[in-house]
Amino acid sequence: MTTIKLHNTKTRKREVLTPIDPQNVRMYVCGPTVYDRAHLGNARPVIVFDVLNRVLRHVYGDDHVTYVRNFTDVDDKINARAADSGRDIGQITEETVAWFLEDMAAVGALQPDHMPRATSYIAEMVAMIEDLIAKGHAYEAEGHVLFAVESYRDYGKLSGRSVDDMIAGARVEVAPFKRNPMDFVLWKPSDAETPGWDSPWGRGRPGWHIECSAMADALLGRDFDIHGGGNDLMFPHHENEIAQSVCAHPGHGFARIWVHNEMLQVEGRKMSKSLGNFFTVRDLLDQGVPGEVIRFVMLSTHYRKPMDWTEKKRDEAEKTLRKWYALAITEDAGRPDDLLMELLSDDLNTAGAIAHLHRLAGAGDAAALRAGLQLLGLMGGLIPEWAAQKAFDLTDYEAFLSDARVTAIETKDFTHVDRIKKMLMDAGVEVQMSRDGVVLTPTPAFDAGKLEAL
């Protein structure tokens, strides 16, 4: 069986994945807070962990992997959106969940086995909070329940933060009823206008961190194999998940391996509305950028490195996929070859896997190329409409233009070459001429009928 190695954030080293139960490999990934469209950065962890999910299923079998990704549907951002818009909270969350699933499907993500919503697990959260209070790890104060960070000696081990760093990070939530500025909220009171549930501490709602602990426990058990998410969640969210879960269930370790992806940039800068480089996945899709192109660009960078989205990368990705799809559609997919599996099993080296697919395409190995594309979540079935133009063979036209160019160089008359080039461009063909020869690539505007005159 293939050996999968993953970089474990908690131990700071690459470790062999040894499932607790090989018949049920379990992974939990933190999902979105549903109040708006998913921006491009939100898509990166979805795509990264979708590939990991596919690799796990390839190695252990579809029926032996359980993948959970949650929806946070109770949150102050959602409450604020409802107040600003005058819309019902339930309408906002239902709409946003539907948007998210539609957009993530467009970038090739399979739906997880379970997609729990926080509001469906309030009872489990209340029970866990009660247990933490009983064990001396949490306390009630002015209608709030807070986790006592000092009661868990390993707090900060995941993120590697010092006490001073953590206190600085906690200062925004410092309240006079906190025993320690690092203590975090497990439950907070709700007024008449805010969603709330009955509890032993009065009507209120859960803090953010407790939901993932409760849902992971309910769906995966007290020990499971992999916990994933963006590295922006490492502190405080994941740090707090560990603390409350381990303290609620002594003798259990919660997640064995923690996997975090790096953040996304746009043209070398942090994505920001103030910089004018902020856009959603839907913005790109509506602009005509195929979801598979978004996915390809994301996977071209290793998940633990910052990913820089650029127009150049987008353009190159689309050209590459057009060529690969035209080759791969001619063959049925075989099994992914050993080298591809070795690359993906080595800390999910998608960048190396794509480089390997370039080699397969160059060697004309259509079956292996198609198998590799499908394992990466690309080209699931028939050649997509946006890439169908590449099925038109331009080899003869390349040879025709190349011969004309040789003659033009000899006669120093490029009139004929310019005329051919213009006709090709009018037909929606990109023309590239260099010392190495002529390369013709259909664009989305390609019209084969306009080539008849040639």
pLDDT mean over 268-277: 85
- Outline where 61-172 has alpha helix (H): 76-85, 89-106, 122-134, 163-170
From first CA to last CA, the distance across the chain in angstroms is: 55
Is the domain of 283 the same as that of 367?
yes
Is the domain of 99 the same as that of 44?
yes
- Residue 395 has a pLDDT of 75
Find the range with the poorest average confidence among 163-172, 271-280, 406-415: 163-172
Residue 148's pLDDT band (boundaries 50, 70, 90)?
very high
Q: Which residue has the higher pLDDT, 291 or 436?
A: 291
Task: Round to whole Å and give the CA distance between 115 and 97.
Answer: 10
Task: Round to whole Å and give the CA distance between 224 and 366.
Answer: 38
- Residue 427 has a pLDDT of 85
Residue 382's pLDDT band (boundaries 50, 70, 90)?
low
Give the 3-state secondary structure of residue 197. strand
Residue 136's pLDDT band (boundaries 50, 70, 90)?
very high
- Residue 263 has a pLDDT of 95
> Could you say which of 203, 232, 261 is where a domain stops?
261
Residue 387's pLDDT band (boundaries 50, 70, 90)?
confident
- Residue 206 has a pLDDT of 97
- Residue 167 has a pLDDT of 67
Is the domain of 192 the same as that of 334?
no
Q: Which of 38, 44, 110, 94 is nearest to 285 (CA)?
A: 38
Whether residue 390 has pLDDT greater than 80: no
pLDDT mean over 87-115: 96
- Residue 273 has a pLDDT of 80
**Domain encompassing residue 236:** 9-261
Answer yes or no: is 4 within a domain: no
Answer yes or no: is 20 within a domain: yes
Is the domain of 165 the same as that of 241?
yes
- Residue 119 has a pLDDT of 96
* Half-sphere exposure for 45 (CA within 13 Å, toward CB): 22
Answer yes or no: is 2 within a domain: no
List, for residues 180-233, the tens digit of each pLDDT value. Answer: 989 999 999 999 889 999 999 999 999 999 999 999 999 999 999 999 999 999
Task: Round to whole Å and give the CA distance between 207 and 128.
Answer: 12
Whether residue 124 has pLDDT greater than 80: yes
Is the domain of 288 the same as that of 255?
no
Number of domains in the chain: 3
Is the domain of 296 the same as that of 425?
no
Is the domain of 222 the same as that of 203?
yes
- Residue 335 has a pLDDT of 87
Is the domain of 15 the same as that of 160?
yes
Is the domain of 338 the same as that of 367?
yes
Mean pLDDT, rounded, of the chain: 91
> Could you say which of 345, 360, 390 is where a domain stops?
390
- Residue 313 has a pLDDT of 96
Regarding beta strands 429-434 and 437-442, do their DSSP bridges make them parallel or antiparallel, or are they unpaired?
antiparallel
> Could you say which of 359, 390, 421 is where a domain stops?
390
List, for residues 16-34, the tens digit of each pLDDT value. Answer: 999 999 999 999 999 999 9
Is the domain of 231 the same as that of 345?
no
Task: Round to whole Å and give the CA distance between 176 and 144.
Answer: 12
Is the domain of 251 the same as that of 298?
no
Task: Round to whole Å and give the CA distance between 131 and 71.
Answer: 24
**Which distant-in-sequence residues (6+ apart) come within 8 Å of 177 by Cβ?**
141, 142, 144, 146
Do the Cβ atoms of 19 and 60 come closer than 8 Å?
Answer: yes
Is the domain of 269 the same as that of 225?
no
Helix H or strand E segment including 120: none
Answer yes or no: is 364 within a domain: yes
Task: Round to whole Å and give the CA distance between 220 and 36.
Answer: 28
